[in-house]
Structure 1
């Protein structure tokens, strides 16, 4: 594992763009947040002093949440980008506005 610092506003996302997206998403909401996360884990499994398995996992992403009364809108993505945040903001706004909306069409099947 590396000890590199997680700096999403230096590597993935412009701080001011993120702030504006969050601000416009939370208009009319009582509460809300943008949560950025990176997770890394390493597992070494030994049996009788011998290495049997090893694994490494790395993931990162964000969550965007808005609260209005008892309604909560939440969206997340594993891609930290302005485009992904804007897509998530549309979903989150549903909770702040009229409390719902039409469901989007399911993504096309990839296994044929």
Structure 2
């Protein structure tokens, strides 16, 4: 059983969980509506692992901040992968909006636990 003892360890786990959210989203697309077995297995597994890891951090971190960082990482990371890997539009407006999400995550991190 993984034990989250310190705030720093909890934030590391949130980061790992956020990366797993990106893996989940990308492999969800690659699963072709769950018709391709391996991307489906990776997608479902990464989603479950991401949520489980996130749940562990909530024993130590404030839920509002932790969830915002987790969801923001997933959203911004998935948008970036979409632009690079799937050749989705990378307009200035999209890049500015993604930057605002990232700035919000950094701002929440700088505020610390309230």
TM-score normalised by structure 1 residue count: 0.26
The structure with the largest helix share of the pair is 2
The structure with the largest strand share of the pair is 1
Question: Considering only CA atoms, is the larger Rg found in Structure 1 or Structure 2?
Answer: 1
